[in-house]
Structure 1
């Protein structure tokens, strides 16, 4: 499926990124460019800075130094409006499944007819057609995460950032979300996803960012990084021997 990914994806660049707290460096990324087609997956042990990097790319965290750019221009409010992010534990509104989607679309000025059509499309994409009137907060974990991703995709973002969206899900629910991610990628959405699941990276990634202790220890095509990693830290992590 990855061979069908559109070439028309946005690029993200991080330069001299640093985040420090209480005299400790939590993130130190001198240079990182995410371009080319297909999903980027960020791997590494707990505390390696994966989520911090993702939040910097989305502009949720302002680094102590350095900058993030999109398509060569410093990240700005317009870029952020064309991004969407889904967290590990999504927060759904206290209303129906369909109303969660309608809320996002209505705030962006979509008329009722356009909203109704888009909601039908989204529910079908996420396999939630039969649950449109169900309270969103009564969904199962996998269904709730699918709704969160659909809500993020409702406005057709250029970039979708995902922070371990399947970490607490069973294999069936994980598979459904992976399919959603790949479909979005084939439409040209830039996917940047944090995961601790090496198997998931093998299934989804076009390229892989390996992190340890707040730094990028390796970045390259998935076929190279996951099969023949160049760094010792990557080799140890993939072998399950990296101490967190």
Structure 2
């Protein structure tokens, strides 16, 4: 498998406590890797290391074979986009949130792209709505559109449906599966839901105490 994203002995220690330890994984292009494990196993901490939101104590990450320490952090985070566990939207309109990256850099907003993405996440004609007026599921879809706006090559999803009711969770999960397939994205999905991992993932890595204890096809790891 040719790796789009690869970790090599990735480790992070904070205040003497190792929270991610010696993780070496390969994620192929257009592949979904689900990261599962109990609470506190290091799943979200691992995800934050993949685009340098946190810095590894040891080891590194390769994107298309290039050590990510050689890539400008802002460029890296455009290429490896993160949808956080909570939508983390800013006060304002949907349009302002989806195009936040352009607004931060003082660049003109691509309104056609905003509209196209809102159609893709099933929020047509919502550009001028205030995000505070949206439901939790709608806010999460705006967060997905915001990440896709910069056209990432790799999509990191941190428990993207964990705070939603079951009906909304199913709709958001279906949307994510469709986006991943049609966009051909490489994806790393952190989830506590093993059934979700089975539905969405090509491969699964199980974490325990910051280490990978099993890795393989969903039916092998989740049996």
TM-score (norm: length of structure 1): 0.82
Q: 1:145 matched to which residue of 2?
A: 140
Tell me by how many angstroms 1:29 deviates: 2.4
Alignment check: 8 A CA contact 1:13 1:33 kept: yes
CA RMSD of aligned residues (A): 2.1
- The answer to whether residue 135 in structure 2 is matched with residue 136 in structure 1 is no
How far apart, in 1, do the equivalents of 2:213 and 2:199 lie?
21
Question: Which residue is equivalent to 1:34?
Answer: 27
* 1:100 to 1:129, Cα distance in 2 relative to 1, 3 A: same
Segment drifting more, 149-158 vs 24-33 = 24-33
Summarize the Cα distance change of 1:120–1:10 in structure 2 as closer, same or farther, 3 Å threshold: farther
Distance in 2 of aligned mates of 1:102 and 1:68: 28
Structure 2 CA distance, aligned partners of 1:199 and 1:166? 13
Q: CA deviation at 1:219?
A: 1.0
Aligned to 2:185: 189
Task: Classify the secondary structure of the residue corresponding to 1:151.
Answer: helix
- Once the two structures are TM-superposed, the CA of residue 81 in structure 1 deviates from its matched residue by 2.6
Within 5 A, what are the aligned runs for 1:208-227? 208-227=204-223
**Mapped pair 1:93 → 2:90:** yes
Structure 2 unmatched runs, 5+: none
Distance 1:20 1:107, change over 3 A: closer
C-alpha distance in structure 1 between counterparts of 2:198 and 2:84, whole Å: 21
Structure 2 length as normaliser, TM-score? 0.89
What's 2:121 paired with? 126
User: Which secondary structure state, in structure 1, belongs to the residue aligned with residue 99 of structure 2?
Assistant: helix
**Change in CA separation of 1:106 and 1:33 when aligned onto 2, cut-off 3 Å:** same
Q: Deviations over 1:193-238 (max 9, x none)?
A: 10001111111111111000110001112232223xxxxxxxxxxx
Cα distance between partner residues in 1 of 2:157 and 2:150? 16
State the 1:183 CA deviation. Answer: 2.5
Which one of 44, 53, 57 corresponds to residue 51 of structure 1?
A: 44
Q: Does 1:164 find its partner at 2:159?
A: yes
In 1: Cα distance, 2:105 partner to 2:145 partner: 15
Would you say the 8 A contact 1:93–1:137 is kept in 2? no
Q: 1:202 aligns with which of 182, 185, 198?
A: 198
Please tell me whether Structure 1 or Structure 2 has the larger radius of gyration of its CA atoms: 1
Matched positions, count: 218
Residue 62 of structure 1 aligns to a residue in which SS?
Answer: coil
The alignment partner of 1:31 has SS state of strand
Would the alpha carbon gap of residues 223 and 109 (structure 1) be closer, same or farther in structure 2, given more than 3 Å must change?
A: farther
Deviation at 1:36, TM superposition (A): 4.6
| Structure 1 residues 19 and 107, CA gap change in structure 2 (3 angstroms) | closer
**Where does the alignment leave 5 or more consecutive residues of structure 1 unmatched?**
1-6, 228-244
